[in-house]
Copies of this chain bind each other. A is one copy, B any other.
Amino acid sequence: MRCSTYKQQANLQNISILNAEKHFLTHLTKIATSFPKLRIVLEHATTSEAVDAVLSLPENVACSITAHHLELTIDAVPGQPFHFCKPIAKEPKDRDALRKAVLSGNPKFFLGSDSAPHPVNAKTARVEEFGEPVGCAAGVYTSSILVPLVATLLESFGGLDILQGFVSDNGRKFYGVPAKEGESVTLKRVEKGGGKVPGLIRGDGAEVVPFWAGKELGWEIV
């Protein structure tokens, strides 16, 4: 009954996966201003409204953005289960707002990987002989290529110079975790045509399709 009542309420208020993040911002604002010393990260922002809210709130509020949300829009999602994640990618204006926030170099914005290695069979709707088909798991897998992917994406929209801040410095600063000596990653440009991401990664009894499958990365870890 509780579930049904929640669903009815959501319908009455027109809440959906498209605008839930926006509805959440009222609560975020209330919490952030009531507890000014509480560090809060809006994880995996996907909307222009979230970017605006984070910018307008005090220094205790930051925001993580995934690699895949810097690339995907809603058009690439419903027919492609490997692009289905929560929160779902939104409209071009939202992706543009995320890119702009990252490009600004504002330390409130940093990378959140949100990487979910669902095996291929969990990304396939499972048909039931006599019942409803079971849908696909939500999540995009980026971990195995994350830093080269972010470098490639940032370069595609003119942001390669803010790579270190976005991937490392901004988040460390917000959490108050200094970098340890010797912990670093060096990237180099890949040879033309040498950065192709595999279509399928075989692990221990499972197969995973990574984000960017079949596409070229411009960078690799040394």
Contact = CB atoms under 8 A, between A and B. Distances in A.
The dominant DSSP class at the A interface is loop
Interface string A1-36: 000000000111011111100000000000000000
A125 B213 CA distance: 13
Nearest to A11: B92
Interface stretch (A60-68, A75-83, A171-179): A75-83
A175 to B, nearest CB: 31
Contact of A81 (B18, B81, B91): B81
A161 B214 CA distance: 53
A103 to B, nearest CB: 16
- Taking each of A77, A125, A214, which has the highest tally of chain B beta carbons within 10 Å of its own beta carbon? A125
A213 to B, nearest CB: 5
A196 interface: yes
Give the bracket for the number of chain A residues in contact with chain B.
35 or more
A207 interface: yes
Interface in A49-104: 73-75, 77-82, 84, 88, 91-93, 96
Contact of A18 (B14, B18, B131, B198): B18
Interface in A126-147: 127-133, 135-138
B78 A213 contact: no
A215 B214 CA distance: 39
Given A78-B78, A81-B136, A200 B16 contact: no
A164 interface: no
7 contacts: A16-B91, A18-B74, A79-B137, A79-B138, A81-B81, A120-B127, A132-B215
Given A14-B93, A17-B75, A133-B209, 17 more contacts: A15-B92, A16-B73, A16-B91, A17-B74, A17-B78, A77-B78, A80-B125, A81-B135, A81-B136, A82-B125, A82-B133, A123-B125, A128-B214, A131-B199, A132-B213, A133-B199, A133-B214
